[in-house]
């Protein structure tokens, strides 16, 4: 099976602009989660989508939004970019694995730099 | 709320054994997972514990004590390629999501 893919891999934007990131989960996985990773804050949960519905949301401002399509592909959007939004944005597709546990498979991430 | 604590850095020599601890506070605990992330790479799933005890997968083992809200990842016969960040994560059934620790940077020296 192909892994999780994310596009673009790198992005440079200017403060005030908006950005859309894309994620394609592993085939057959219906759950997609988004995380923001920064050196000082670790992996911070943004939101999770399952079958086109947002199931959970982290503690991020409304400038961060997302959606999921019928083919399970997901996008996240950040409007009115701030310098502090510079981070690695990771997408993970999830399943209940053979271990009986909740296993998350991460994409390579999108490195967003806001100048 | 949920919180996890793990050491920020650990250093060990090639061939040695190292243990990375993780303590957590959460309601609706379902299981403890471990992920490895190399510099510039994505986190990759290593192991999962739902029940107390030790789970072994090759050179890596993971332990859980639910009564102590504590777990650890044990890496044996360390290799240089094991230098990476290691994250513990808990899945919370109430919240329906995983919460990650801040990660432990493991440096393996020759």
Mean pLDDT of B12-33: 92
Q: Which of A58, A90, A101 sits opposite B31 (nearest CB)?
A: A101
Distance CA B1, CA A62 (A): 21
- Tell whether the model's pLDDT for residue B103 goes beyond 90: yes
CB-based contact B57:B47 (threshold 8 Å): yes
Average pLDDT of chain B, as a whole number: 92
Q: Which of A43, A58, A107 sits opposite B87 (nearest CB)?
A: A43
pLDDT at B97: 79
For chain B, the maximum distance between any two Cα atoms, rounded to a whole number of angstroms, is 44
pLDDT tens digits, residue range B73-84? 999 999 999 999
Mean pLDDT of A22-37: 93
CA distance B32 to chain A (A): 8
CA distance A16 to chain B (A): 27
CB within 8 Å: A106 and B103: no
pLDDT at A15: 97
CB within 8 Å: B96 and A107: no
pLDDT at A9: 96
Q: Chain A residue with minimal CA distance to B41?
A: A108
Mean pLDDT of A83-91: 96
CB-based contact B75:B27 (threshold 8 Å): no
Mean pLDDT of B61-79: 96
pLDDT at A99: 65
Mean pLDDT of A95-111: 83
More confident residue, A62 or B98: A62
Residues 46..105 of B with a Cβ closer than 8 Å to A: which? 47-50, 55, 87, 89, 91, 95-103
- Give me the residues paired with residue A21 across strands: A76
């Amino acid at each position: 099976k192909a892994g999780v893919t994310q596009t673009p891999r790198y992005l440079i934007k200017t403060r005030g602009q908006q950005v859309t990131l894309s994620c394609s989960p592993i085939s057959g996985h219906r759950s997609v989660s988004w995380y923001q990773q920064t050196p000082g804050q670790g992996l911070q949960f943004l939101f999770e989508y399952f079958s086109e519905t947002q199931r959970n949301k982290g503690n991020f401002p409304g400038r961060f939004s997302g959606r999921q399509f019928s083919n399970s592909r997901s996008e996240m959007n950040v409007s009115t970019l701030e310098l502090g939004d510079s981070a690695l944005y990771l997408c993970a597709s999830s399943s209940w694995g053979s271990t009986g546990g909740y296993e998350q498979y991460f994409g390579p991430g999108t490195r967003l730099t806001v100048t | 709320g949920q919180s996890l604590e793990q050491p920020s850095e650990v250093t060990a020599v090639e061939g040695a054994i190292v243990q990375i601890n993780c303590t957590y506070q959460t309601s609706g605990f379902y299981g403890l997972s471990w992920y490895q992330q190399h510099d510039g790479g994505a986190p990759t799933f290593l192991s999962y514990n739902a029940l107390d005890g030790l789970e072994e997968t090759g050179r890596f083992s993971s332990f859980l004590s639910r009564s102590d809200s504590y777990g650890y990842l044990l890496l044996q016969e360390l290799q240089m390629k094991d230098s990476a960040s290691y994250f513990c994560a808990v899945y919370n059934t109430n919240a329906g999501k995983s919460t990650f620790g801040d990660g432990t940077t493991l440096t393996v020296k020759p």
